Amino acid sequence: MRIHGNLRLAALRHVTAVLAAALLTGCGGAVSVVSEGDDASLMLHGNDAVAYFTAGKAVAGHSGIKTEYRGLTYRFASEENRRQFIANPGRYAPQFGGFCAQAMAYGVPTAVDAGTFKIIDGKLYQFDSARARLYFEMDQERNLKLAWHYWEAEVMDANWRLQAWKRLVFRVPHHKTNAELDEEYEKRFGKKPG
């Protein structure tokens, strides 16, 4: 039996709604936030936001040295780093709510590996893997513009689960698979990524 036009679209919408409802019954909060001990909304997997800038790597924060910013808990390796963060949280907080910058270029909020990041123009951007960072860097300026567009137009004030499903079902016009990005990398640089 062949499904036509409006019936096919209605079936797709129904399946999408069922999947979205299933996702919404899961745990709350953003995918980039974890719960640990007394901190139910712990940002950066408990790493020190200031240390990304000063040490150039992810450094675990202490549970006793922390502050709240926009309803999220940030931990720090030292009181000095905590003081610096409090003085200018917008400088140190991760961009895109801590979601992967490469995935954000496709409008998909995705969890990150807290140790995979890049400082661009004095701002912290995180990635879900070293490969995602590599893909992002292939056309960093374009990807950054796209990521900011989707963050502001679709993701920032949306339910991240619904947004992820939306963009996994209805992909952006410039979407590329990992295989396509691998092929592009190999053509540009004459070697396989990674």
Q: Work out the average pLDDT over 12-33.
A: 44
- pLDDT score recorded for residue 31: 57
- pLDDT score recorded for residue 4: 54
Q: What mean pLDDT, rounded, does the chain reach?
A: 87
- Residues of the chain above pLDDT 70, percent: 84
| pTM: predicted TM-score of the whole model, two decimal places | 0.82
User: Where would I find the H helices in 109-192?
Assistant: 130-138, 140-150, 160-169, 178-189
Sequence letter at residue 179: A
The band of 25, judged by pLDDT with boundaries at 50, 70 and 90, is very low
Structure-model confidence comparison of residues 26 and 96, the more confident one: 96
Q: Would you state the torsion angle of the CA atoms of residues 57, 39, 85, 59, taken in this order, to the nearest 10 degrees?
A: -20
Over residues 130-174, the pLDDT tens digits come to: 999 999 999 999 999 999 999 999 999 999 999 999 999 999 999
